[in-house]
Structure 1
Amino acid sequence: MLLEAQASSEPTSGQYHHYIPRFILRSFLETHGPPKTAKQRSKDYLKSRKKGIETELLNVYDLSTRSLQSLPVSKAFGEVNLYADSSNTVNLNHVEDKLALLENQAAQTVADIRSAMPRGTVSLTRRSLEVLRKFVFVMHYRKPDVQASYFDETKEENMKDWVKRYMQTHNIASREGLWLHGLAYILGTPHPEIIAKSEEIVAQYGESRLQEMIKTRIDANLENWFAVDYESLANSHFLGVWEAAPGCEFILGSNSFGLWEGLINGSPSIHRIFIVGPKLALILRCCVFRESTKYLIPVAKQSSLLDIKMATPSTRFHNSSRAQSPEALRKYRLTAAAQKDIFTYEITKLTEAQTRAVNEVILLNLPVDGSLVFQSKENAVKAIRYHISSPDPFVQAKRPEQKFRPLLHSLEDALGVPRTQVEEAKESAANFWEQALSEMMRRRPDRIHPGGAEWVIDQKWAEEMGLTDLEPDSVESTSTLGESHRMPAPHRWSSLSLGNDPDSSDDGPDDNSTRVGAEEDQIVTGHRTPVLAADGGSCRSYFRRCLLYVLVTIVALSWVSSISG
C-alpha cells in the first residue's frame, strides 16, 4: 500500500486525504517529553516549512518493501482525492469537510477519555457517545480497500437489484460514487435519525423477512440500506475502553479500524477493534456477551479476547422519568434532553498477555501490501518478538517470521541490541511445546463450555464431530483473529442485536429483538446451537473430546518437531 501521495499520477490540484486522522497518527509520534499543544505544533510547522524540514515523523513499517521508514504525519496513511466528489461542482471536497468536522469532535472525546485513564473511569454525554459511535463506523467505512470492494457484484449478488435501482434513482455513475454517497449520508445525518430510519425500515419489512432478504436478494425498493448497515453495528455491539498494560503499547495497522475478532455460532464477529492511540483502544463487543445476558443465551463462541472483562456503563438519564419501553426509548433518544444523559465507563486495564493478544489480531491481519505504525521502538520489539514466536499454530501458518523478521532486525539495529535468533525467541523446545499445546486448547474450537444443566459445544467442534449439518468454513473464516483474506463490504456486519440502546446499563429497557447479519459468504443459516445433556450425552462427548485432544497433541508434536529441527 502506498503511504505517500504519488504526485505524478494525480492532478497538481489534488488534495491529500487521510484515511487515518492526524490526531490519531500524532499520538504515535515518538516523543521524549509532554505532548505538544496545537499552538506549539503550529509554531513548529511554520519553522519546519521555512527550513523545508518535517518535524512530525512516524515510525512506519511498509510490508510491501519490508522497510522501516520515517514518514511525516502530513503525508502518511492517505491518498490524493480519496473523498473528492466529482459530481459536486460547487465543492469537490464537501465529504472531506464533513469528515474533518467529525474528526474534530471525536478528537475531543478521545482526549477526554485519555485524560480520564488515570482515574480508571470516564463519563460521556449521550452526544459525545453518539459522536464516538459514528466515528468508529466511519473509520471502517472510509478505508480505501472498502471503497474498492463496496457492493462488488461478484461478492454481493444479493444487493445487485437494490444497487442498480438506487444508483439510477440518485444519478450515481459508479460503485465509488455509491460508496461516497453513503459516506456523505452517514456524515450529514445525526446518529439518532439514522437509527430511527433503520428501525422504521425494519418495522416495515419485519425481522424475519429482512433476514431472508439478506440471504437471498434485497428488495430493490428498500429505501435506505446505508441506515440499516449503520444501525446493525450500533445496536448489536456495546462499547468498551481498553488501556494497554504498563510497558506495552498497541500497534496500529493500515487496515486496523474495524477488524473483527471471535466467532459466534460460527460467524463473525464478537469484537470489533479500533486502535486510537498507543495506549488506548475502543472495542465493540456483541451484546449477547453483556453481563446481564451472557449466561442466558446459549451460543457457540470462540474468541481470544472474550476472557477480558468488559462491563456496560452505568447510565444517568437527564430526564428522571426514563423510558420504560423500547418505543418510548426510541422517541426519547430524539429529544434534546437525551443528549445530556451521562454514561460512565470503566476503563479496562489490560495485562501484558491481553495486550499481546490484541496486537496479534492487528499483526496477523496486516495484508501483504499493508503498513503499520508504532510509537516506541522498545515496545514494538517486544510485540514483534512475541508474534514471531507465537505458540499458536494458526499464527505460525501465516509465517510471521517472514513478514516481520526484517522489521525486528531494523528495530534491534536501531536500538543497538543483539539480533534475536529463532531459537532464542522460541525458548526451549519443551517449554515451547507446552505453550503451543496450551494455546491450541485455548484458541481452537475443541472446548466444551459448562452451561448449567446443558453443555454448549463449540460450533466448529460439533461440525467436525458430525453433530450439525453446517457447511464447513474456509481456513480463513474459521480464524478467531480478524478479517478473512477477502475484504468484506461494511454492510455485512455479522451481528446479533439485543435491544435498542446497547450502551445503556444492563437494567435498561430491552425489546429482545434479534438481528443476524452476514459477512462475505459466511451467512448465518439459522441452525440451532448443538446442545448435549449433561447426563446421557456427557460420556459420548467426553470420549470425543479425549480423541480430539490426542489428535491435537499429535499435530502439536509434529509442528514443534519441524520448527525445532
Structure 2
Amino acid sequence: MVRNFMQERNLQKPKEVWLQNIHEILDTSHEEVGNNEKIFSIDREDYKHRMIDCFLLIWQAGENDEFIITSNGFGIFEGVTGNMFGAFPFQYAFHSFYVISPKLVLVLCPSSFRKEIGTDHLYKFFGGKRSIFENVPHPAAIPKYVGTVNASRSKSNNEHNHSKFDPTDIFSLHARAFEKTLKSMGIEKQWNDTFTFPFVKLDSATVHLVNFILLNEVKPDLILTFLSRPYLYKTIVKYHKKVGVQQDFSNLKKNLFIELNRTHKDNLHLRKNIPTGQKYSWNVRETNSES
C-alpha cells in the first residue's frame, strides 16, 4: 500500500510519506482531513477514528510525582496488538498518552471508556484483554452548546455537507447519528461551543504506571526530561521491579546514584561548616515602591 501511494504521489522514500501527511493535515481543515487523498489512507482512517470515536482526558500528577518526558513518548499507547485473522497486524489503543509537562498528560481514549457507554463490549471483542488503567476516572468534557436549531441554517449546512456524507463509512454514520441526536434535543453544533475539561489527579501508583509505559518504549538515543533526580531514580527502581520490562536502565540508575550520593555529601559538608550556635541579626527596611 505504501509503495503504491509513493508511486502515485511521486515520493521517493517512506519518510516523505510521513512528511507529506503532516503537511496535508496541517494545511487541511479539520472536517476535510478524512477526504484528502493526498494523505495516506491508513492515516486518514486513523484520523477519522480519533475524531469521531475518541475523547480527551487530562491527567495530573500529584505534588510529589511527575511524568517523565521521553524523546519518543508523545503518542505512546496502551492497548492491544496482534494479528487479525492470523495474518494482518493490528493495533488498538485503549489510551494514547501525550505528556505536555512533568505534571500533565493528555490522554486520548475510545468512547467505550465513557461511563455511560462502558467497556464490556470492547473487552469482549478483544477476548477479555483489559486496560491497566480501567479503574482511573474517565470524566468526559462538559459541553455547552450555544446554538439552537435554525431551519434555514440547517438546510444550508445539509446542502453543504451532503457530498461529504458516505453511508458506507462507519465514521460518517457515527457523525450523522450524533448530529441527529443533537437536533432531536433542539441543539445544533456551532464554532463557538465550549467544552470544560476536568483534571483528574492521579495517585502515585498510576503515575508510575504511565512512566513505565513511556520508559518501556524508549529508543537507544534516549533523551529524558525530568524535574527531580531523586524522583527519576525512584522511577527507574520501580520500573525494574515491574513484569514485562523491555529496557535496561542499570547505567542510568548507577549514574543517578553516584550523583545523588555526591550531592548528599556536599550537603553534609556544608552543614558541618556552619558554626554551631551561630546567630544572625537581620536588618529589615521597608521601602516605598513609588519613590
TM bracket (short chain): 0.5 to 0.7
Change (3 A) 1:295 1:184: closer
Give the C-alpha shift of residue 403 in structure 1: 5.3
TM-score, scaled to structure 2: 0.67
In 1, the alpha carbon distance for the partners of 2:24 and 2:143 equals 29
Change (3 A) 1:369 1:328: same
1:347 matched to 2:165? The reply is no
Q: 1:416 aligns with which of 239, 258, 264?
A: 264
Deviations 1:8-32 (A, max 9, x none): xxxxxxxxxxxxxxxxxxxxxxxxx
Change (3 A) 1:167 1:340: same
In 2, the alpha carbon distance for the partners of 1:368 and 1:168 equals 32
User: What runs of 5+ residues in structure 1 fail to find an aligned partner?
Assistant: 1-158, 202-220, 419-565
Change (3 A) 1:283 1:222: closer
Change (3 A) 1:251 1:344: same
Change (3 A) 1:346 1:367: same
Give the C-alpha shift of residue 337 in structure 1: 6.3
Is the contact made by 2:57 and 2:106 (CA closer than 8 Å) also made in structure 1? yes
Q: 1:312 aligns with which of 140, 147, 169?
A: 140
Which residue of 1 is the match for residue 57 of structure 2? Answer: 240
1:275 matched to 2:72? The reply is no
Give the C-alpha shift of residue 246 in structure 1: 1.5
Change (3 A) 1:367 1:403: farther
User: What runs of 5+ residues in structure 2 fail to find an aligned partner?
Assistant: 84-90, 155-173, 183-187, 267-291
Deviations 1:487-512 (A, max 9, x none): xxxxxxxxxxxxxxxxxxxxxxxxxx
Give the C-alpha shift of residue 375 in structure 1: 1.8
In 2, the alpha carbon distance for the partners of 1:403 and 1:283 equals 31
Give the C-alpha shift of residue 330 in structure 1: 6.2
1:301 alignment partner, SS class:
coil
Paired AA for residue 114 in structure 2: R
Which residue of 1 is the match for residue 66 of structure 2? Answer: 249
Structure 2 counterparts to residues 123-522 of structure 1, below 5 A: 159-160=1-2, 163-164=3-4, 166-195=5-34, 197=35, 224-263=41-80, 268-294=92-118, 297=121, 299=123, 300-321=128-149, 326-327=175-176, 338-388=190-240, 390=241, 392-395=242-245, 398=246, 400-402=248-250, 404-413=252-261, 415-416=263-264
Change (3 A) 1:339 1:403: farther
Is the contact made by 2:59 and 2:199 (CA closer than 8 Å) also made in structure 1? yes
Is the contact made by 1:261 and 1:271 (CA closer than 8 Å) also made in structure 2? yes
In 2, the alpha carbon distance for the partners of 1:239 and 1:378 equals 31
1:269 alignment partner, SS class:
strand
Change (3 A) 1:365 1:320: same
Is the contact made by 2:17 and 2:40 (CA closer than 8 Å) also made in structure 1? no
In 1, the alpha carbon distance for the partners of 2:82 and 2:8 equals 38
Is the contact made by 1:381 and 1:411 (CA closer than 8 Å) also made in structure 2? no
In 2, the alpha carbon distance for the partners of 1:283 and 1:301 equals 19
Deviations 1:256-275 (A, max 9, x none): 01111133899532111111
Give the C-alpha shift of residue 284 in structure 1: 0.9
Give the C-alpha shift of residue 372 in structure 1: 1.2
1:361 alignment partner, SS class:
helix
Give the C-alpha shift of residue 408 in structure 1: 2.7
1:416 alignment partner, SS class:
helix
Is the contact made by 1:264 and 1:301 (CA closer than 8 Å) also made in structure 2? no
In 1, the alpha carbon distance for the partners of 2:198 and 2:178 equals 24
Give the C-alpha shift of residue 244 in structure 1: 0.4
Paired AA for residue 338 in structure 1: Q
Deviations 1:164-195 (A, max 9, x none): 2x333333233222221111101111212224
Paired AA for residue 408 in structure 1: L
Paired AA for residue 406 in structure 1: K
Is the contact made by 2:113 and 2:138 (CA closer than 8 Å) also made in structure 1? no
Is the contact made by 1:246 and 1:352 (CA closer than 8 Å) also made in structure 2? no
Which residue of 2 is the match for residue 46 of structure 1? Answer: none
Among all aligned residue pairs of Structure 1 and Structure 2, give the percentage whose two residues are the same amino acid.
Answer: 24
Which residue of 2 is the match for residue 45 of structure 1? Answer: none
In 2, the alpha carbon distance for the partners of 1:247 and 1:191 equals 38
In 2, the alpha carbon distance for the partners of 1:263 and 1:175 equals 25
1:241 alignment partner, SS class:
strand
Paired AA for residue 134 in structure 2: L
Is the contact made by 1:254 and 1:371 (CA closer than 8 Å) also made in structure 2? yes
Paired AA for residue 176 in structure 2: E
1:240 alignment partner, SS class:
strand
Is the contact made by 1:238 and 1:284 (CA closer than 8 Å) also made in structure 2? yes
In 2, the alpha carbon distance for the partners of 1:223 and 1:405 equals 41
Is the contact made by 2:52 and 2:175 (CA closer than 8 Å) also made in structure 1? no
**Larger gyration radius, structure 1 or structure 2:** 2
Deviations 1:190-248 (A, max 9, x none): 212224x27xx9xxxxxxxxxxxxxxxxxxx9985542232133333211000001111
Give the C-alpha shift of residue 309 in structure 1: 0.8
2:49 alignment partner, SS class:
helix
Paired AA for residue 190 in structure 1: S
Is the contact made by 1:237 and 1:284 (CA closer than 8 Å) also made in structure 2? yes
2:138 alignment partner, SS class:
coil
1:228 alignment partner, SS class:
helix
In 1, the alpha carbon distance for the partners of 2:9 and 2:194 equals 39
